[in-house]
Every structure is written in C-alpha cells, then in structure tokens.
C-alpha cells in the first residue's frame, strides 16, 4: 500500500466533506464503494498479474478517506498495489481541483456588536460557542472577552488601512509623512498650550511601559504612565531566562531578593518538537532541549505591581483606565489629550518626551510606518489554568517551548507553548506565524475557538474540570528590517519601545524578551538624550533594539507562514521546522541557546544554513515558494548588512569600548550628539554576542540532562 495524495481541507466540518465525497463527487471510471470515512475506487475483477510476487498480487484499487484534527479536515489517498491505478494521475488532479473548488479558504470575521443592546457573551455565542462557554467560567471573563474583541477590531482596522492609518500624532511642522497639514486645518487642537512641560517622559501603555518607566523614574526623571486598563492587569504571562532577567538587577531596578519573589517557577528543561508523522525519515528530528530558554515563569501581575510601586516611590504617576486620544508636538514639548474612561472626562498633559508602549494596538506605530507598520504577526491565544489536569499529564519541572501536534490547519501551522507556574498552574498558548494581509488579518476569536476545541488533543484533559485563572491573548508583531534605520521608531519628542517598535526576534516574537535584553542600551542612550535635550527624530531614532543578527533570521519565520489563499502540502512547514531544529538538536547546547536568544553570530548562522541545505536540498525551493522573489531580495539586503556588521564588529570590538571610556568624560559635554551616536554604535557591536557553553551551563547547571532521558508523553 502506498500513499499517493495528502490534502488539507480548510473546514472543521468533516461530515460535509465526507458526504460530498460519497454522494456528489463523480469519477469517470472505476467502481465507487462507500466506506465509513470515504470510499474505495476499484476496477472490477482487476488484480495484479498472478505471476507477480505475493505482495504484488493485490487489487487495482484506491482508498480515499478523511479524518479531522485541529478543527480541520484532512484527506489521504492510498493505492493498494505498487503499480499505478489506471488513470491515476488524472483522478488525483480531478479530485484535488474539485475539493479546492468546493472547499476554498474562508476567513471568518467577528460579527458587529452593540454592547448597549446585549452582552458580549450573547452576541458571540452563535459564532464562537466554546469561547463564550469557557470565558464565562473565568474571573472577569466578560471584560476580557470584550477586550479580545476590541483588540482584534483595532488590529483589523490597522491592517486594512495601512496607507491612511488613523491620525493621532500631529506636528506643527507638518512633515515627515505624518500628513498633518490638511487634517490640522479641519481638526485643530483646541486645547490651550501648556507653558512648561509637566513631565520629562510620558509613557502610553502600562505593561512593557511600566518596566522602563520605573527605571527612568529611579534615574530622577519625572514620569507619567498612562494605561487603558486597570493598572497591573494584563492578558499575557511572561517567561524569560535567568541570564536575561539579571539585567533588571544590574540596572538597579530590583534587588536579587525582590527578583526571586516574582519568579513563579523555574523549570529544569524545555522541549521543542514538531509533528513529523507525515515527514520522510530524514526530515524527522529528536526533541531539542533548551533548558535555559524561557525557563523562568514570572508572576506578571505581581511584577507589574512592583514596577508601579517603584515608579510611584520615585515620584512618578500612573493614570490607569485612561485612553490616549492624540498628541500634538511642537518645538519644546508634546501635549497629550487623554480620556478617563470611567468618568469620560478628557484632559491634557504635557511632557518633554512621549514613549509609545501600546504594542500592536498602537495607532502611533501604524502612523509612523505607513504601509509597513508590521510585516508579520503571531495571533496568540491561551489561558493560565490553575488546576484540573489529571496527575501524570504534565510534569511541572518541564516546559514546552515550541510544539506542534498536527500539520497545516486551515492555512496556519498551529504551535503550542506550555509553561508551568506556581503550584499546579500551567500557562498554555496556541499561536501561528502569519503574514499580514488585509483579506486575512488573523483572528483571535477564531483562534480561541480552536484553542478550546483542540486543547484535549494537545494535552489530555476534561475541559469542564479545568479551573481557569485568566485568558492570555494578543497580536505579537514582527518587522522584516533590512538595516538599522529600516523601521521608524521615533519622531521629534516621540519614540516607541517593545511590540510597538517591533524589533524583536522573528523566532520567539516577544517584545518582553527584546526589551529586557536591550534594557541597558535603551536606558543609557535615553538618559543621555534627555540630559542634553537630544529629542529630535535624528537622535531618538538611534535609540532602538535593532540587531543585525535578528533581522537576518526573519527568513526563518517566513518559512512558518502559509501565504493567504495558498495551499501547501500539509506537512511542509513541519518538515522545514524539523530540518532546522534537528540540526540544533545535534549541536552543543549553547548553539540553540544563542540562536533562540538572538545571539547567533555570522559564522554560526552560515554554518547552520549550509548544513540545513545539505540535509534537505528542497529547503531552498520551499523558501522560494513561500517568500517569493521580492522578499528574498529584501532578505539578501539583510544578509549583506549582517555580514558588514560582523566585519565592523570584528574590527572595532577589541578597542572601541576602551576608547569611549577614555574620551567620554570630555566628549559628552562638548558634543553630546556625537557621544550619543558613538555609544549607539558601541551597543550595536556589543549586543547579541554569543555566549560560551560554560556561561550557558553556569546559568542552570541542573538543567543539563542526557539526550537519552528525553521523553514526551501525551
């Protein structure tokens, strides 16, 4: 028996597909015999010749059947005999064509809602029944589901109107693509000018913004934090490694003792494994162990509360449940107009600098970057679950960093993450890498319906016995940068950090890790800019978390995205992931650790790329099909920039930092702009350097376990 066709059919309704196959699908030759999940096609009385070996004396017959997993229908065709079935190629082409015509891609949109007429639960119950059912079991479930709906609508608006995004930032200069001239005539700022700025820095966004705001307040700056939600609440948990989070201690934001109080769990190993049952043997891979990647689970709400307390203790202020409306920038200040949501009272406030930390919901990020605010995104859903899994389902000493349990599902390669928390708590995410597309922006609500349906497929459980703590969701963006100035992260008196800046790893796709890894860089450079009033676009745009080794790896994430409207062999993306993660599994521990933490150097990147091409020569063709010529040309620009950066780094690293230490005391007061530029270069050279094996092992020595002990149960 031989498999001769494997298709993904992008519908959860397997019964309709089966019925169509059995009753409506017509074939010109052969006898159609119905089976429980499809049909058999045979030539009456035909068998292989009697003189053949027994294994070949089989009926001339095809078996067509369907099954469902991941809320998706799949079809396979097997041939009984080794020799082709009469007209086999034509039959398969006809079957594929008819299936694609009858069951095309469909990208559902959430219904319009009017919460003055009915609750969010009543409005969404028909379209997303399981999502409504389980959100009703969560504390603050109605509020959180409304927020998920709001976030999806805001994301869709930005994706579909990239050339003319909603205008929220206005400058008296009316320049640099802000398109403020005509708008200002019709919508002038009616607020009176503020004679002196109230604050040095105003942050919009209280998650990542709270961390950086607390640091800057401790440096003596007068800081205001504006947050749309009640402060301290967030719909995400954070994981990081111990070596990365050490920067919070090094910068004086927390003491070692305080740091330990926000760590909910430190697990000993993390697994990376992708479904490979439909891959050829050479494209299957062992479990990749990453014991020092994302192995600290933080109590995110406790951590934010601590940042808030430190911010206020240093003289900062927090305005929560307050929505940003617009910002007006002039030569000496930025004036914000905001609205307190409970009272609906609008007010204005001014500062020397505005920092956008609103993430993908940021209208500022969309405005600053016009048609290319974000190239890619991970629609991410999940939940923190307090208890309810049976003993033995999961050992909380371990985490799933990246895991798939099936092939492409309705145009997406779904990937799981599982991180243990305090006690029996588990935080589980479901996400996919996605190319931003106006027809198919990516849906949180559709993903949530998947999550609540297929969670038992991933980890055995009774959904009705699980105790839900809170939902976790969001759009985590990516931007394919060619060079350090490719993405705009600033304007006069305005800059973006975190997901709004979108300069993070294309693999891990998290603004938190990127912010923490670059925290010293951002804080030091911003301190210099504020001390010397270097708050113009040309100065602030140098303060960024860009790394050339990160920008070159975006092609890796591109290989995990199914282009909208396109059908790929269902196993294709898992095959690509297994190719590369299989190579990492064969490498020393520090290689995978450095790659995932954005510390891969030029030589290692090229060595791994060449090994991947030798192991799977089809990989280059697959990437060409997914990326296309335009993006490959863009990637070549990133690659050459990576090589140039590696050369410059090799030339400057031995002496440049020492030189700056010698000249800084007299150069900074004489030419602060030049000093800022030189420091930015030094951080660009130093950031992202790979760590040695001894450094990796020292971080978590108990985590190093023999490969022979690696076992994953379901």
Strands (E), 286-331: 288-289, 296-298, 317-319, 322-329
Give the per-residue pLDDT at 698: 54
Q: How many whole angstroms from its chain centre is CA 239?
A: 13
Q: Which residues pair with 474 in a beta bridge?
A: 380
| Cα 474–Cα 272–Cα 574 angle in degrees, nearest 5 | 80
Residues 402, 417: contact at Cβ < 8 Å?
yes
Q: Looking at the predicted structure, is the pLDDT value of residue 581 above 80?
A: yes
Which two structure tokens, joined as six digits, stand for 193?
Answer: 């000018």
Which residues are CB-neighbours of 212 under 8 A, at least 6 positions away? 203, 355, 357, 497, 515, 519, 522, 523
**pLDDT category, 565, cuts 50, 70, 90?**
very high
**pLDDT category, 710, cuts 50, 70, 90?**
very low
Interatomic CA distance for residues 495 and 204, integer angstroms: 11
Helix (H) or strand (E) holding 472: strand 467-478
Please, what is the average pLDDT of the chain?
Answer: 87
Q: Which residue has the higher pLDDT, 674 or 496?
A: 674
Give the per-residue pLDDT at 703: 41
Strands 415-420 and 426-431, bridge-based pairing: antiparallel
Give the pLDDT confidence of 665-692 residue by residue, as tens digits.
999 999 999 999 999 999 988 887 776 6
Q: Which residue has the higher pLDDT, 166 or 641?
A: 641
Give the per-residue pLDDT at 701: 45
**pLDDT category, 196, cuts 50, 70, 90?**
low
Give the per-residue pLDDT at 704: 37
Nearest to 410 by CA among 109, 102, 131, 105: 105
Which two structure tokens, joined as six digits, stand for 243?
Answer: 């070596």
**pLDDT category, 308, cuts 50, 70, 90?**
very high
Give the per-residue pLDDT at 52: 52
Burial tier of 680 (Cβ tally within 10 Å: 0-12, 13-18, 19+):
buried
Burial tier of 386 (Cβ tally within 10 Å: 0-12, 13-18, 19+):
middle
Q: What is the mean pLDDT of residues 578-604?
A: 91
3-state secondary structure of 481: coil
Q: Looking at the predicted structure, is the pLDDT value of residue 499 above 90?
A: no
H helices of 103-241, in order, are: 120-124, 129-135, 141-160, 181-186, 208-218
Q: Looking at the predicted structure, is the pLDDT value of residue 399 above 80?
A: yes
3-state secondary structure of 328: strand
Which two structure tokens, joined as six digits, stand for 30?
Answer: 């052969």
Give the per-residue pLDDT at 635: 85
Q: Looking at the predicted structure, is the pLDDT value of residue 480 above 90?
A: no
Q: Which residue has the higher pLDDT, 26 or 500?
A: 26
**pLDDT category, 51, cuts 50, 70, 90?**
low
Q: Would the pTM of this model clear 0.85, i.e. be above it?
A: yes
Give the pLDDT confidence of 83-92 residue by residue, as tens digits.
899 899 999 9
Give the per-residue pLDDT at 187: 45
**pLDDT category, 182, cuts 50, 70, 90?**
very low
Q: What is the mean pLDDT of residues 231-241?
A: 88
Residues 280, 410: contact at Cβ < 8 Å?
no
Q: What is the mean pLDDT of residues 58-68?
A: 90
Q: What is the mean pLDDT of residues 508-516?
A: 72
Q: What is the mean pLDDT of residues 654-663?
A: 95
Give the per-residue pLDDT at 712: 37
Q: What does R_g of the chain's alpha carbons equal in angstroms?
A: 27
**pLDDT category, 497, cuts 50, 70, 90?**
confident
Give the per-residue pLDDT at 174: 54
Q: Which residues pair with 431 in a beta bridge?
A: 380, 415
Instruction: Please state which of the ranges 93-107, 223-237, 315-329, 407-421 shows the lowest mean pLDDT.
Output: 223-237
**pLDDT category, 376, cuts 50, 70, 90?**
confident
3-state secondary structure of 679: helix
Q: Looking at the predicted structure, is the pLDDT value of residue 54 above 60?
A: no
Instruction: Please state which of the ranges 153-162, 397-406, 453-462 shows the lowest mean pLDDT.
Output: 153-162
Which two structure tokens, joined as six digits, stand for 182?
Answer: 């005509």
Instruction: Please state which of the ranges 161-170, 208-217, 294-303, 691-700 shows the lowest mean pLDDT.
Output: 691-700
Strands 72-79 and 59-69, bridge-based pairing: antiparallel
Q: Which residue has the higher pLDDT, 598 or 683?
A: 683
In the chain, the N- to C-terminal Cα span, in Å, equals 29
Nearest to 61 by CA among 78, 73, 49: 78
Q: Looking at the predicted structure, is the pLDDT value of residue 713 above 60?
A: no
Nearest to 286 by CA among 562, 592, 606, 7: 592
Residue listed under structure tokens 């991941």: 70
Q: How many whole angstroms from its chain centre is CA 99?
A: 32
Give the per-residue pLDDT at 463: 98
Interatomic CA distance for residues 219 and 223, integer angstroms: 10
Share of the chain above pLDDT 70, in %: 87
Instruction: Please state which of the ranges 69-73, 235-239, 272-276, 687-691 shows the lowest mean pLDDT.
Output: 687-691
3-state secondary structure of 129: helix
């Amino acid at each position: 028996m031989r498999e001769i066709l494997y298709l993904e059919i992008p519908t959860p309704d397997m019964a309709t597909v089966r019925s169509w196959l059995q009753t409506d699908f017509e074939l010109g030759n052969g006898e159609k015999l119905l089976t429980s999940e499809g049909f058999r096609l045979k030539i009456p009385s035909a068998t292989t010749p009697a003189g053949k070996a027994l294994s070949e004396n089989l009926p001339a017959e095809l078996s067509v059947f369907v099954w469902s997993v991941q809320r998706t229908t799949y079809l396979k065709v097997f041939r009984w005999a080794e020799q082709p079935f009469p007209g086999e190629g034509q039959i398969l082409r006809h079957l594929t064509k008819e299936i694609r015509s009858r069951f095309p891609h469909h990208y559902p949109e959430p219904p319009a809602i009017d919460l003055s007429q009915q609750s969010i639960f009543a409005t969404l119950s028909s379209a997303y029944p399981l999502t409504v059912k389980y959100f009703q079991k969560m504390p603050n479930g109605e509020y959180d589901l409304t927020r998920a709906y709001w976030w999806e609508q805001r994301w869709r608006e930005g994706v579909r109107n990239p050339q003319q995004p909603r205008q929220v930032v206005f400058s008296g200069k009316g320049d640099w693509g802000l398109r403020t001239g005509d708008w200002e005539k019709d919508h002038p700022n009616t607020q009176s000018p503020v004679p002196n700025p109230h604050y040095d820095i105003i942050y919009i966004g209280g998650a990542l913004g709270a961390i950086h705001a607390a640091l800057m307040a401790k440096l003596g700056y007068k800081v205001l934090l504006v947050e749309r939600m009640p402060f301290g609440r967030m719909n995400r948990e954070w994981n990081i490694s111990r070596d990365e989070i050490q920067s919070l201690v090094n910068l004086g934001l927390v003491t070692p003792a305080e740091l330990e109080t926000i760590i909910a769990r430190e697990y000993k190993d993390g697994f990376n494994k992708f479904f490979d049952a439909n891959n050829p043997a050479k494209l299957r891979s062992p479990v990749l162990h990453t014991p020092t990647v994302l192995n600290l689970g933080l109590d995110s709400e406790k951590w934010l509360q601590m940042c808030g307390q430190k911010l206020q203790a240093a003289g900062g202020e927090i305005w929560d449940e307050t929505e940003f409306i617009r910002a007006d920038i002039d030569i000496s200040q930025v004036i914000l107009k905001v609205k307190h949501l409970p009272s609906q009272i609008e007010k204005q406030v001014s500062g020397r600098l505005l920092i956008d930390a609103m993430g993908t919901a940021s209208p500022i990020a969309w405005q600053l970057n016009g048609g290319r605010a974000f190239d890619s995104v991970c629609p991410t859903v999940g939940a923190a679950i307090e208890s309810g899994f049976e003993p033995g389902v999961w050992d909380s000493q371990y985490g799933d960093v990246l895991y798939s349990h099936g092939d492409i599902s309705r145009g997406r390669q779904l990937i799981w993450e599982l991180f243990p928390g305090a006690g029996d708590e588990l935080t589980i995410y479901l996400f996919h890498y996605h190319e931003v597309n106006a027809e198919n922006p990516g849906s949180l609500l559709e993903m949530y319906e998947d999550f609540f349906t297929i969670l038992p497929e991933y980890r055995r459980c009774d959904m009705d016995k699980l105790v839900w703590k809170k939902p976790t969701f969001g759009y985590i963006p990516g931007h394919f940068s060619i060079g350090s100035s490719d993405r705009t992260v600033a304007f006069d008196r305005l800059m973006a950090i975190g997901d709004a800046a979108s300069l993070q790893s294309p693999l891990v796709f998290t603004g938190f890790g990127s912010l923490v890894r670059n925290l010293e860089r951002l804080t030091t450079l911003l301190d210099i800019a504020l001390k010397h009033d270097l708050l113009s676009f040309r100065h602030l745009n140098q303060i960024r978390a860009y790394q050339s080794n990160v920008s070159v790896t975006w092609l890796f994430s591109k290989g995990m995205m199914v282009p909208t409207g396109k059908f790929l062999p269902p196993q294709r993306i898992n095959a690509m992931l297994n190719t590369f993660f299989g190579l990492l599994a064969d490498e020393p521990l520090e290689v995978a650790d450095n790659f995932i933490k954005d510390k891969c150097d030029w030589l290692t990147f090229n060595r791994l790329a060449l090994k991947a091409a030798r192991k799977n020569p089809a990989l280059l063709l697959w990437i060409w099909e997914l990326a296309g010529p335009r993006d490959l040309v863009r990637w070549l620009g990133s690659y050459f920039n990576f090589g140039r950066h590696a050369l410059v780094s090799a030339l400057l690293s031995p002496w440049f930092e020492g030189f700056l230490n010698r000249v800084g005391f007299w150069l900074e007061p004489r030419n602060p702009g030049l000093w800022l530029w030189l420091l930015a270069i030094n951080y660009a050279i130093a950031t992202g350097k790979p760590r040695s094996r001894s450094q990796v092992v020292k971080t978590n020595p108990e985590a190093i376990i023999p490969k022979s002990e690696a076992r994953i149960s379901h």
